[in-house]
Homo-oligomer: A and B are copies of this chain.
């Protein structure tokens, strides 16, 4: 594996995977608690964030349901959501698993993938699957801490659900 050669060894990649798992768990907890104003803190200043349907991603179409270039746009998105009235109470739970580190380049940018599952609970209908998808990520380390340089979310869906404007 090219990533292993560049980075040192499979064991180093494994440690990196474990570190990303911890990052993703913290990320998921912030979204679960609805602390959307904390969500931008996981990104770099120049970060890219997108949520895109898989059929668009497979066809290499860049358009996404959410598309943010730079932390300012990510913060705008968070602010807008935090100030949007929700019409009915609901809870979301994010499970993130199957992290795979695929590359570490010469500048130390880490490429990784993971899967996410979002469960939604509304008052009158119990818990159901809201969204299933994949993260295609690039991480950098700033002051010892991992940050997302880009998170490209690709969800399995052929229909558009308006709740998708929330970050995942």
Query: Which of A21, A95, A119, A121 has the most CB atoms of chain B within a 10 A radius of its CB?
Result: A121
A128 at the interface (CB under 8 A from B): yes
A129 at the interface (CB under 8 A from B): yes
Residue numbers in B under 8 Å from A26 (CB-CB): 100
Are A98 and B159 closer than 8 Å at their CB atoms? no
| A130 CA to B132 CA, complexed, in Å | 12
Give the size category of A's interface with B.
Answer: 35 or more
Are B93 and A95 closer than 8 Å at their CB atoms? no
| A81 CA to B158 CA, complexed, in Å | 23
Are B96 and A98 closer than 8 Å at their CB atoms? yes
Q: Which residue of B lies closest to A89 (CB)?
A: B158
Are A159 and B126 closer than 8 Å at their CB atoms? yes
Our pick among B22, B95, B130 for the contact of A117 (Cβ within 8 Å) is B95
Residue numbers in B under 8 Å from A9 (CB-CB): none
